[in-house]
């Protein structure tokens, strides 16, 4: 029996797809191994949001070459769709699968042998219009369930529409079937994921899976709230202009949807938001945060922000810093802007020097630490429900409260994948 080892770079949606690829290969007779072990086939599911993700992919291939030079190396994901020829030239790569081919991996592996050059199986992203349901299972306590893919937005810094294609969604019926399957396997918490999750909409779904009436993200979460077996849902990253008051109010009244939002901001300067081609201004963002905190003072709010975008002056960055400091958010994911080929942002001047970008990143990471400390401190002494994960880390285990505070406790098998009342 052949063995396969898989590795994911990037977002939660990538984790769901890697897990699905792994199950497809297991169904085809492969035995799954850890990525650090010697295997017959290695699959790297790539990201291409930053230059670091590209570099990490190349580094992983070199590591495989040293460890298992005879192994088959397959690269898929966003980097594979955007730069297939560049990847094919990396020594040791045997197969490059674009967006339309990643779930046909079993068939492709039957058709190739280890050789001197890589086979590229890709197509024009405009031709990618199918939706493949994916979810992670057995990899983590929380299950990442993909319900939407692609993006119709054209932010000036972003390559994702070029890597993922147009927005398309799973049918409500299919999502419910997957949720019930996850519940039957013992899943307790599902994180709903997508490239532009709030744009979930079956009116631009794939042919053959349309419902009799159009369903949007709000109607989807209403349906999921009724399903028995799953105790927790989280909404992964959702655009502020798509996070409606209806969604916020629904979450505030739901026992299953957790008080936790991740809302990308990218900049606290309206000038920079305009250059980024974002579809909101900071005032709308502040309004959304204000409503969440009014209805759910205990709610955790995460924020994506980019520093060093072209044209960002010291004053623009200070405006972002002051804005983030002033609103009641809990933590930041800080990204240093990196140039991406074929994006509009490349034409925006002046370019911010790398050392300035790095310094701004450091300042916001410090702010994030302070915000999370403050948020956590507010809940010390409270008893909240914690879902503990099954990994034994040097005698300790970790879990998350409903409002996403990380809890560490001495390892106990009885706590694994269980939701318990826990005094913080």
Q: How far apart are CA 365 and CA 44, in angstroms?
A: 29
Count of residues in the chain:
424
For the chain, the domains span 3-123, 134-377, 383-423
State the average pLDDT for the chain: 92
Encode pLDDT of 199-210 as tens digits: 998 765 544 444
Query: Is domain 3-123 given the CATH code 1.10.1040.10 in the classification?
Result: no
Fold of the CATH domain 134-377: pyruvate-formate lyase- activating enzyme (3.80.30)
Q: How far apart are CA 86 and CA 125, in angstroms?
A: 17
The reply to whether 134-377 shares the fold of 3-123 is: no
Segment 246-264 shows an average pLDDT of 98
Longest dimension (CA), the chain: 62
Band of residue 211 on the pLDDT scale cut at 50, 70, 90: very low
β-pair type (300-307, 331-336): parallel
Lowest mean pLDDT among 135-149, 176-190, 230-244: 135-149
Encode pLDDT of 307-359 as tens digits: 999 999 999 999 999 999 999 999 999 999 999 999 999 999 999 999 999 99
Segment 392-396 shows an average pLDDT of 90
Encode pLDDT of 61-102 as tens digits: 999 999 999 999 999 999 899 999 999 999 999 999 998 899
Which strand (E) or helix (H) includes residue 168?
A: strand 168-169
How far is the CA of 252 from the CAs of 17, 238, 299, 393, in angstroms? Answer: 30, 16, 9, 34
Instruction: Kindly write down the DSSP assignment for every residue of 297-333, as one continuous string.
Output: TT-EEEEEEEES-TT--HHHHHHHHHHHHHS---EEE
| Residue 53 exposure: Cα atoms within 13 Å on the Cβ side | 27
Which strand (E) or helix (H) includes residue 41?
A: strand 41-46
Encode pLDDT of 265-315 as tens digits: 999 999 999 999 999 999 999 999 999 999 999 999 999 999 999 999 999
CB 122 within 8 A of CB 100: yes
Residues near 27 by beta carbon (within 8 Å), at least 6 away in sequence: none
Residue 117 above 90 pLDDT?
A: no
Identify any residues that bridge with 232 across adjacent strands, giving them in sequence order: 189
Structure token digits, residue 76: 């898929």
Name the DSSP class of 397: E
Residue 116 above 80 pLDDT?
A: no
How far is the CA of 137 from the CAs of 32, 86, 178, 195, in angstroms? Answer: 13, 32, 11, 20
pLDDT for the residue numbered 315: 98
């Amino acid at each position: 029996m052949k063995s396969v080892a898989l590795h994911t770079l990037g977002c939660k949606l990538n984790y769901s797809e890697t897990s699905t690829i792994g199950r497809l290969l297991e169904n085809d007779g492969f035995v799954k191994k850890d990525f650090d072990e010697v295997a017959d086939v290695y699959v790297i599911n790539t990201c291409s949001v930053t230059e670091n993700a590209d570099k990490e992919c190349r580094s992983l291939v070199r590591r495989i070459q040293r460890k298992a030079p005879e192994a088959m190396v397959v690269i898929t994901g966003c980097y594979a769709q955007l730069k297939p020829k560049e990847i094919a030239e990396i020594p040791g790569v045997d197969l490059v699968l674009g967006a339309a081919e990643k779930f046909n991996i079993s068939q492709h592996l039957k058709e190739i042998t280890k050789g001197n050059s890589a086979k590229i199986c890709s197509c024009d992203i405009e031709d990618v219009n199918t939706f493949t349901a994916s979810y992670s299972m057995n990899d983590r306590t929380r299950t990442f369930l993909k319900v939407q893919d692609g993006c119709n937005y054209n932010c000036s810094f972003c390559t994702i529409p070029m890597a993922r294609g147009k927005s398309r969604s799973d049918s409500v019926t299919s999502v419910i079937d997957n949720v019930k399957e996850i519940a039957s396997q013992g899943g307790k918490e599902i994180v709903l994921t997508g490239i532009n999750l709030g744009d979930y909409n079956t009116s631009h779904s794939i042919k053959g899976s349309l419902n009799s009436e159009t369903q949007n993200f709000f109607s989807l979460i209403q349906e999921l709230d009724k399903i028995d077996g799953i105790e927790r849902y989280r909404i992964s990253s959702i655009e502020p202009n798509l996070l409606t008051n209806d969604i916020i109010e629904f979450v505030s009244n739901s026992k299953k949807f957790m008080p936790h939002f991740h809302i990308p901001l990218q900049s606290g300067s309206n000038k920079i938001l305009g250059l980024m081609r974002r579809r909101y201004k900071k005032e709308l963002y502040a309004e959304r945060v204000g409503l969440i905190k009014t209805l759910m003072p205990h709610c955790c709010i995460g924020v994506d922000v980019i520093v060093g975008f072209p044209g960002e002056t010291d004053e623009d960055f200070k405006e972002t810093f002051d804005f983030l400091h002033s609103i009641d958010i809990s933590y930041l994911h800080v990204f240093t802007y990196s140039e991406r080929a074929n994006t509009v942002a490349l034409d925006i001047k002046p370019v911010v020097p790398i050392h300035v970008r790095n310094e701004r990143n450091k300042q916001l990471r410090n702010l994030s630490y302070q915000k999370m400390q403050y948020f956590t401190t507010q809940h010390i002494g409270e008893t909240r429900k914690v879902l503990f994960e099954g990994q034994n880390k040097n005698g300790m285990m970790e879990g998350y409260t409903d409002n996403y505070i990380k809890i560490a406790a001495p390892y106990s098998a009885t706590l694994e994948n269980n939701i318990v009342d826990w005094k913080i």
